[in-house]
Amino acid sequence: MIQRTVLSLVMTLLMTAAAMAQPRVEVAVDDLTHPWGMALLPEGDLLVTERPGRLLQLNPDTGERRVIGNSPAVVARGQGGLLDIALHPQFEDNRWVYLTWAGACESGSATHLGRGKLGDGELTDFETLLVAEPCVSSGRHFGSRLVFDRDGHLYMTTGDRGQRDRSQDPHDLNGAVLRLHDDGSIPADNPFADGAAGHPAIYSFGHRNPQGATLHPVTGAVWIHEHGPRGGDEINLPASGENFGWPLMTHGREYHGPEIGPDTLPGMVDPIHHWTPSIAPSGMLFYTGDAFPHWQGHLLVGALVQTHLARLELDGTTVVTEDRLLEDRGRRIRAVEQGPDGAILLLTDHADGELLRLTPRDH
């Protein structure tokens, strides 16, 4: 009898702890159309991209929204459209907003990068900084995450556009991580800056479709993740001039079953973590807030296919534990951001998409 009572108490405590580990979820804004990227403005509003082509300014407290004019024309086909957004590190002084999008070009479409100054309800002085050529007719794998490092370099990810061998061509701007100055010019210390062995904008290559990018809060290193095929989603640390292997090596398989390549090869960089089977990762954030103090330093990753928020505890670059949050909601989590109060903000990629706010249950 005593043993049953003790067992019952232990089970109750475990269930309570599991429940407390799940944050409170609030729908802050709804009726969004396939939202893709977001950036937090200094005054607390959010800029949110919608894949069909709208750029919105949202108040996450009131739900008030307005369309920002003069955003670029997009090719909203397949996985393409208006994609990521980032603010210049000195945004409060210069008002520069950076966007990526699938844009038309002579032989189809390509991932574009541009910037404009946020004025009163519109972007001004908008300019295209880079087109990830060559252009193709594919509607897949645009990549397209943006992150500034601590030195002010802008990193941009590009996908292989569904044409995998392009990732192994260092002269092709697709299937790569690009590194630029804030005006789109090429840093002199880029690995292929002279153009002889690769395109000057390329920092690393051999990537499939990276849709997450963030800075490590301690080291300042750029971390990315990328979609594998059937398995083999990866977390990688881009390194100057390095080849990350796709499609010559991968933990994933062809969608129809056969192996694509070995898990590792000499001279290529292994991922620090992989998901097999795939979760389809999108959005990425190191949590540093006070609202969830036990999560500080943990990596948060959205999942599209597995429809959850992954929380990864790390020891250096080694994943120690991984939890799955919000599985019961069945929502494709596209982007992850941290609010000024430490709340976690998520975008769900649906025709009836939402901005979700996560706070602790004891709040």
Rounded Cα–Cα distance for residues 150 and 141 (Å): 28
The kind and range of the H/E element at 146 are strand 146-148
Q: What are the angstrom distances between the C-alpha of 218 and each of 58, 300, 343?
A: 30, 16, 20
Reference 97, options 154, 150, 39, 43; nearest CA is: 39
207 is catalytic: no
Q: Which residues contact 108 (CB under 8 A, 6 or more apart)?
A: 135, 136, 137, 138
Instruction: Compute the half-sphere exposure of residue 338: CA atoms within 13 Å on the CB side of its CA.
Output: 21
Task: Name beta bridge partners: 301.
Answer: 284, 310
Q: Before 191, cis peptide (omega within 30)?
A: no
Q: Which of 53, 99, 100 is nearest to 77 (CA)?
A: 53
Residue 162 backbone class (left: φ over 0; alpha: ψ -120 to 50; beta: rest): left
Give the DSSP per-residue string, 184-227: SPPPTTSTTTTSSSS-TTEEEE--S-EEEEEE-TTT--EEEEE-
Q: b/e string for 329-358 if b means 16 or more Cβ within 10 A?
A: bebbbbbbbbbeebbbbbbbbeeebbbbbb
CA distances from 13 to 4, 10, 258, 269 (A): 14, 5, 45, 43
Residue 99 and residue 87 in contact, taking contact as beta carbons nearer than 8 Å: no
Out of 88, 112, 141, 207, pick the active-site residue: 141
Tokens of 15: 């269930």
Q: Rounded distance, CA 276 to CA 268, Å?
A: 20
Residue 66 token pair: 């307005």
Any idea which residues carry the catalytic annotation?
141
